[in-house]
């Protein structure tokens, strides 16, 4: 029934005992024969690193903390934004504007006071990844970009740490376990990143709010199985979840003997520059960029250029830049005749990917004065919010303190 009182990886390090409080807290785990007291002690001894406290990171951190993972490290450097709340269930409206790590630590510690939360307030890079990951038994990847995903994969392979991977987009999720024993790694499955302008992020393409909840919970289940040494892991299998069809499909993933990092003769023996690796070959037709500050100044000056929003009408209804004209990217080609190819024109979208594509289309069509907004309306809104906070702070310092008399009259 129960395994021997050893670590899940078979090493002989003694397992920490459970206190009477913990026995009560985890009683429904202890009742499961495959977990029992030994399994719970293994969870208590475990050190797990969750990378990213966002959509996937929320259910991951909540369930791993609730399950009693003794040391839960979390890497994040972001602050809570209102647009996070439809899926990032770690946070509430009151947390908007606060660092995610602070809000997450508070919430997780309140959920389970028996565990230690270790916040890592940093962006994971080639310079720090090995040092951060080294201290953990297992990594759970909740990142939303390819550069970090390859970085996490390579670091896990180099350090020999299992990596529970997931990725989500709109209605679909992918899930696997990489770098576990003789299993494949992420590069065995995807040796090269996709071209950057073909991959919209959640900020660009959207995501169903409940999707990371489902996929992140599956990821947490995989982590718990690996930590307790039970069941059959997803190593060597890729699970695809489709919320629209409500279907799960499974694909075999084999280890590639020629893999650049886990193959027989690896060419990657230390971490590389992942931003460069994922940026891909530069398109010779570069669309000039404009940043938020410059766009603001341009729009405030007389004779402002035509500002075109290439997102969908639904996206524009949520937030748009005043004075912009909506021409969704799929309709741009048909609208080209209505635009003056010699007049200055500025394009924007949600994050700066579609506007770049639109810029190329126009430039190939003979437009000579096209620019696009770097970071899209996401960057614009962040800057607007910062200005608003600044203005409020300034107004506060400039207003003389109210007298007792006027306060009581108010
Ligand atoms: Zn590999």
pLDDT along the chain (410 residues), means of 10: 58 89 97 97 98 97 98 97 96 97 98 98 97 98 93 98 96 97 96 76 80 98 98 97 97 96 96 88 80 93 91 89 92 89 92 89 90 93 81 63 35
Task: Determine the distance separating the centroid of ligand 1 and the alpha carbon of 269, expressed in angstroms.
Answer: 12
Residue 208 neighbours by CB under 8 Å, 6+ apart: 87, 170, 171, 243
Specify the pLDDT at position 189: 95
The CA-based angle 144-267-199, given to 5 degrees, is: 25
Task: Determine the distance separating the centroid of ligand 1 and the alpha carbon of 241, expressed in angstroms.
Answer: 23
Candidate list 259, 262, 278, 349, residue with the active-site label: 349
The Cα-based distances of 10 to 1, 3, 6, 17, 183 in angstroms read 16, 10, 6, 18, 18
- Looking only at the bridges linking them, the beta strands covering 47-51 and 138-141 are parallel
Specify the pLDDT at position 264: 95
- Looking only at the bridges linking them, the beta strands covering 289-290 and 247-252 are unpaired
Beta bridge partners of 164: 140, 177
* Angstrom distance (rounded) from CA 207 to CA 344: 34
SS3 (DSSP) at 230: coil
* Angstrom distance (rounded) from CA 311 to CA 294: 21
Task: Determine the distance separating the centroid of ligand 1 and the alpha carbon of 276, expressed in angstroms.
Answer: 20
Instruction: Starting at the earlier edge strand, list the strands of the sheet with 289-290.
Output: 289-290, 370-373, 345-348, 306-309, 325-326
Specify the pLDDT at position 181: 94
Beta bridge partners of 79: 99
Task: Determine the distance separating the centroid of ligand 1 and the alpha carbon of 166, expressed in angstroms.
Answer: 16
Candidate list 156, 202, 259, 278, residue with the active-site label: 202
Specify the pLDDT at position 406: 33
Beta bridge partners of 119: 74
The DSSP line for 367-400 is --SEEEETTHHHHHHHHHHHHHHHHHHHHHHHSP
Task: Determine the distance separating the centroid of ligand 1 and the alpha carbon of 191, expressed in angstroms.
Answer: 8
Task: Determine the distance separating the centroid of ligand 1 and the alpha carbon of 183, expressed in angstroms.
Answer: 8
Q: Is 278 a catalytic residue?
A: no
Residue 394 neighbours by CB under 8 Å, 6+ apart: none
Domains of the chain: 46-279 (3.40.50.720), 289-398 (3.40.250.10)
Task: Determine the distance separating the centroid of ligand 1 and the alpha carbon of 180, expressed in angstroms.
Answer: 11
Runs of H (alpha helix) within 56-172: 57-67, 100-111, 129-134, 146-159
Specify the pLDDT at position 283: 66
Q: What is the pTM of this model?
A: 0.76
* Angstrom distance (rounded) from CA 15 to CA 32: 19
Specify the pLDDT at position 5: 62
Residue 384 neighbours by CB under 8 Å, 6+ apart: none
Specify the pLDDT at position 396: 62
Q: How many residues does the chain have?
A: 410
């Amino acid at each position: 029934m129960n395994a021997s009182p050893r670590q899940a990886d078979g090493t002989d390090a003694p397992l920490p005992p459970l206190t009477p409080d913990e026995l009560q807290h985890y009683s429904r785990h202890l009742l499961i024969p495959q977990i029992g007291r030994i399994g719970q002690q293994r969870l208590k001894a475990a050190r797990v690193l969750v990378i990213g406290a966002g959509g996937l990171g929320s259910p991951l951190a909540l369930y791993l903390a609730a399950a009693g993972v003794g040391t839960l490290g979390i890497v994040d450097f972001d602050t809570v934004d209102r647009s996070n709340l439809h899926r990032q269930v770690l946070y509430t409206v009151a947390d908007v504007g606060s660092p995610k790590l602070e809000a997450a630590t508070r919430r997780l510690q309140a959920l389970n006071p028996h565990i230690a939360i270790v916040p890592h307030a940093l962006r994971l890079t080639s310079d720090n990844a090995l040092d951060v990951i080294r201290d953990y038994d297992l990594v759970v990847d909740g990142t939303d970009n390819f550069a970090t995903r390859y970085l996490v994969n390579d670091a896990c392979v180099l350090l020999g740490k299992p990596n529970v991977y997931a990725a989500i987009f709109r209605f679909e999720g992918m899930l696997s376990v990489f770098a576990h024993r003789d299993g494949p790694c992420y590069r065995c499955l995807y040796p090269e990143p996709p071209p950057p302008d073909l991959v919209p992020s959640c900020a660009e393409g959207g995501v169903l709010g409940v999707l990371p909840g489902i996929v992140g919970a599956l990821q947490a289940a995989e982590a718990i199985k690996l930590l307790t040494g039970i069941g059959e892991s997803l190593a060597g299998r890729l699970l695809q979840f489709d919320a629209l069809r409500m279907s799960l499909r499974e694909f075999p993933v084999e280890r590639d003997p020629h893999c650049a990092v886990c193959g027989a003769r690896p060419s990657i023996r230390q971490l590389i520059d992942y931003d460069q690796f994922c940026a891909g070959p530069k398109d010779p037709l570069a669309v000039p960029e404009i940043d938020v500050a410059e766009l603001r100044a341009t729009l405030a000056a007389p004779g402002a250029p035509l500002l075109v929003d290439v997102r969908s009408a639904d996206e524009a209804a949520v937030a748009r830049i005043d004075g912009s004209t909506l021409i969704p990217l799929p309709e741009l080609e048909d609208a080209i005749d209505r635009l003056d190819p010699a007049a200055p024109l500025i394009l924007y979208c949600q994050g700066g990917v579609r506007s770049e594509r639109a810029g190329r289309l126009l430039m190939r069509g003979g437009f000579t004065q096209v620019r696009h907004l770097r970071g899209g309306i996401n960057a614009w809104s962040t800057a607007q919010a910062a200005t608003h906070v600044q203005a409020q702070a300034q107004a506060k310092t400039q207003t003389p303190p109210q007298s007792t008399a006027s306060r009581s009259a108010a």
